[in-house]
Structure 1
Amino acid sequence: MIPQLLTVRVKRPDRRPIRVWIPVIPAALVLSPVVVLAVLGVVVACLVYRLSVARALGTGWRIVSALPGTWFDVEYSRTAVLVAIR
């Protein structure tokens, strides 16, 4: 199952936190030209380094489908960013 929703929350000192919900499917459709170029780049890199293209793309798909449920936090000074993939 691919991720459906990306939640980003930014905690700022002395201000209200910013929370943004990004639906993954519409964002992927908007960014599809970039995704096509990235896939072409992966194919070229696989051919240059003599790797299996099907195996590389399959591994990438497995990584993307394993993303739901992933959370990560980044804190710098007094600002914190939380990203949750659902």
Structure 2
Amino acid sequence: MIPQLVTVRYRRLNGRRLWLPVPVLPVLLVLSPLLVLAVLGGLVACLVTGVDPVGALRGAGRLLWALPGARFEIQDGRTAVLVSVR
């Protein structure tokens, strides 16, 4: 299943926290023209470098399929960012 919600939590230097839920489907619909260009660019890059385009698309699909449940945490001093994919 593709991810449906990405939650970003950000702790600022002054200690205040910011929580931002990002729904994937509306963002994907808005950015779909750029997604088409990115896929075409990726296919051209595959043909130039000799990589099988079908295998590359299959690998990208498997990566997206595995994203739900992933958590990325970055902390630097008093600033912290947490991204969780559901």
Structure 2 unmatched ranges of 5 or more: none
Shift of 1:7: 0.1
Shift of 1:34: 1.3
SS at match of 2:68: coil
Shift of 1:15: 3.9
- 5 Å matches for 1:1-86? 1-86=1-86
Shift of 1:50: 1.4
| CA distance in 1 between partners of 2:77 and 2:33 (Å) | 36
TM-score (ref. length: structure 2): 0.94
Q: How many residues align?
A: 86
Give deviations 1:41-74, integer Å, cap 9, x for gaps.
1100110011111110111011011000000111
- After superposing on structure 2, the runs of 4+ consecutive aligned residues of structure 1 that deviate more than 4 Å are none
Instruction: Supply the AA of the counterpart residue of 1:29.
Output: L
> Higher mean Cα deviation, 49-58 or 10-19?
10-19
Structure 1 unmatched ranges of 5 or more: none
Superposition CA RMSD, Å: 0.9
| CA distance in 1 between partners of 2:78 and 2:16 (Å) | 13
SS at match of 1:2: coil
